[in-house]
Each structure stands twice: as C-alpha cells, then as structure tokens.
C-alpha cells in the first residue's frame, strides 16, 4: 500500500471525482515510527511527505484520489513517518488556551459549558499557589467570583475532576472533532 501506485491502479468514476476534497481542508493522522499518534496535518502536507518518501501510506480514503497531470494517487487518511521523531512529554505548553482545551471548555466547579471562562488557581497565588497544570482549572465567572481568594474546601465548592498535565494524544483526540473510523485503532489503543 504505497504512494507509488500508477493511475491504472486507481480508476475513479466521474461521479467519484467530484467528491474529492480540498487538499488543505482534509486532515490526515500522522503516526510516529512506532505507530503512536504524533499530530494531524493537512492532506497537502501529507502528500508532500509521501512524495518525498519521509512517510508511508498506512490508510487511504476510499473513492478519493489526488490527481496530477499524469498520475493518480490515493487520498491519505493515515500516514507513518519513515524516521522516528522524539516527542517530549513537556511539549504542551502551559497556557490559558491549553488549560481550556484540557478542561473541554467546561467550568470545573459547576460543570457547565460556557463560552466565557476564566482560569482559576485552586490554591490562590496569594497563598503560595503556583502556575501549574495541577493548580489551574477552567471556571465560569460566577464560580470564580464565588470562590474568590479561598481554596475550594473553604468556599465549600468541589472540583469535578482532578486537574492533570495532559499528553499530546489526549489533545489530538479532543481537537479532532469527529474521529474517522480508520483513526480509531491508533487514537484509542491503550
């Protein structure tokens, strides 16, 4: 299942050709040499990696093709990098945006999904609380004001889940939206 297939190997019907997606709008799951997810990229970048032999095709989308003037290539869904790349555990930086992503835009006190969320220090900074994954949570304005400069216990408020440092695979799962069927075997292996 490689990218070096010829146009004769892929005969698309005219009605199928119309369903080919844009190379920039479609997404491809990128796996490391050991089949662990690394990131998601555009189909355009995936085709370039395949063409430069920096990756190999693992799964393709049926009835979709990338066409050149003289050749027809499979439309990639999952690719695997030819060389192993080291993904450090600390790759996900601590930021407001990433705390909100980790908490899936839900207030960690009342559980409601809100558009306007703040970041709350579980142990307030004035009491020695740090800026860390384990001390920051998403909170709605109402809950953040209710808690104030107290700990959750002092404010009689309970956290829905204990905050932890996320890993990149969790972020990939959360940001994919609808997970393609061919991706599930790589994203949900534990």
Cα angle for residues 96, 97, 98 (degrees, 5° grid): 95
Mean pLDDT of all residues in 110-131? 92
Q: Which domains does the chain have, with CATH numbers?
A: 7-88+168-187 (no CATH), 93-147 (1.10.30.50)
pLDDT for 60 = 93
Mean pLDDT of all residues in 35-49? 90
DSSP element (H, E) containing 144: helix 141-147
Contact 133, 108 (CB under 8 A): no
pLDDT for 9 = 45
Contact 103, 138 (CB under 8 A): yes
Mean pLDDT of all residues in 67-83? 90
**Rounded CA separation 102/70 (Å):** 45
pLDDT band at 117 (very low <50, low <70, confident <90, very high): very high
pLDDT for 66 = 85
pTM value > 0.75: no
pLDDT for 175 = 63
Mean pLDDT of all residues in 4-31? 56
Torsion of Cα atoms, 29 then 107 then 166 then 163, to 10°: -160
**Per-residue model confidence as pLDDT tens digits over 124-180:** 999 999 999 999 999 999 999 999 999 999 999 999 999 998 877 777 766 666 777
**Rounded CA separation 52/148 (Å):** 55
Mean pLDDT of all residues in 45-60? 94
């Amino acid at each position: 299942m490689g990218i070096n297939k010829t146009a004769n190997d892929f005969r698309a019907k005219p009605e199928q050709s119309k369903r080919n997606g844009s190379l920039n709008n479609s997404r491809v799951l990128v796996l490391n040499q050991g089949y662990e997810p690394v990131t998601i990229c555009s189909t355009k970048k995936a085709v370039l990696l395949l063409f430069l032999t920096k990756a190999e095709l693992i799964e393709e989308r049926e009835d979709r093709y990338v066409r050149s003037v003289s050749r027809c290539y499979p439309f990639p869904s999952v690719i695997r990098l030819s060389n192993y790349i080291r993904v450090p555990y600390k790759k996900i930086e601590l930021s407001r945006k990433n705390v909100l992503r980790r908490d899936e835009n839900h207030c960690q006190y009342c559980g409601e999904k809100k558009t306007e969320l703040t970041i709350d220090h579980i142990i307030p900074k004035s009491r020695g609380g740090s800026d860390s994954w384990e001390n920051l949570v998403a909170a709605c304005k109402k809950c953040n004001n209710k808690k104030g400069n107290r700990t959750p216990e002092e404010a009689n408020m309970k956290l829905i889940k204990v905050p932890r440092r996320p890993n990149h695979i969790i972020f990939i799962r959360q940001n994919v939206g609808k997970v393609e069927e061919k991706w599930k075997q790589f994203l949900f292996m534990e």
